[in-house]
Amino acid sequence: MSFENFGIVSFTAETKASDFVSYLEKGQVMATRCRKCGTNYFPPRMDCSKCLSSDVEWFEIKGEGKLVTYTVVNYGPTGFENDAPYTLAIVDFDKVRVFGRLSKGIKEGDIKPGMKLKVLPVRLPGDRIGYEFQRV
């Protein structure tokens, strides 16, 4: 699988970061780190925008993150119309900040900034794969 299978709608063509999807297949949500200056990237980048080095390594986003902020999307953009409502969130993990969707299993009334979340790969319809935030 490659980036063509990532998410509900693909916006990303084949890229140098296509290993990201292979890691999802293995159950890991990964970010990248620049070996030269130590900057962490999510979504993963294979070229550091700070120091322009291409010497990067992958690392897994593990453990508990904290919800920074979120928004409920009631009217989805093109390709996501049938999927709304869903919740987009920003979650701070130890080394990296991650943007993504909250599991639909978490009710809106239960969502609170600061709540603990983990990030896990999820299977999507049509042999696609993505990731989402779930309760710890």
Residue 1 lies near Zn ion (rule: CB under 5 A): no
3-class DSSP state of 117: strand
Q: Of residues 4, 10, 22, 51, which one binds Zn ion by CB under 5 A?
A: 51
Sheet holding 30-34, edge to edge: 40-41, 30-34, 56-60
Does residue 50 bind Zn ion (CB under 5 A)?
Answer: yes
Pair type for strands 56-60 and 65-73: unpaired
Is 48 near Zn ion (CB under 5 A)?
yes
Is 95 an interacting residue with respect to Zn ion (CB under 5 A)?
Answer: no
Distance, first Cα to last Cα, the chain: 28
Q: What's the gap between Cα 20 and its chain centre? A: 10
46 is a site residue for Zn ion (CB under 5 A): no
Beta strand residue intervals within the chain, DSSP E:
30-34, 40-41, 56-60, 65-73, 86-92, 97-102, 116-124, 128-135
Quick note: the x/- pattern for Zn ion over 4-43, rule CB under 5 A, is ------------------------------x-xx-x----
**Total binding residues for Zn ion by CB under 5 A?**
8
Q: Smaller CB distance to Zn ion: residue 36 or 128?
A: 36
Residues that bind Zn ion (CB under 5 A): 34, 36-37, 39, 48, 50-51, 53
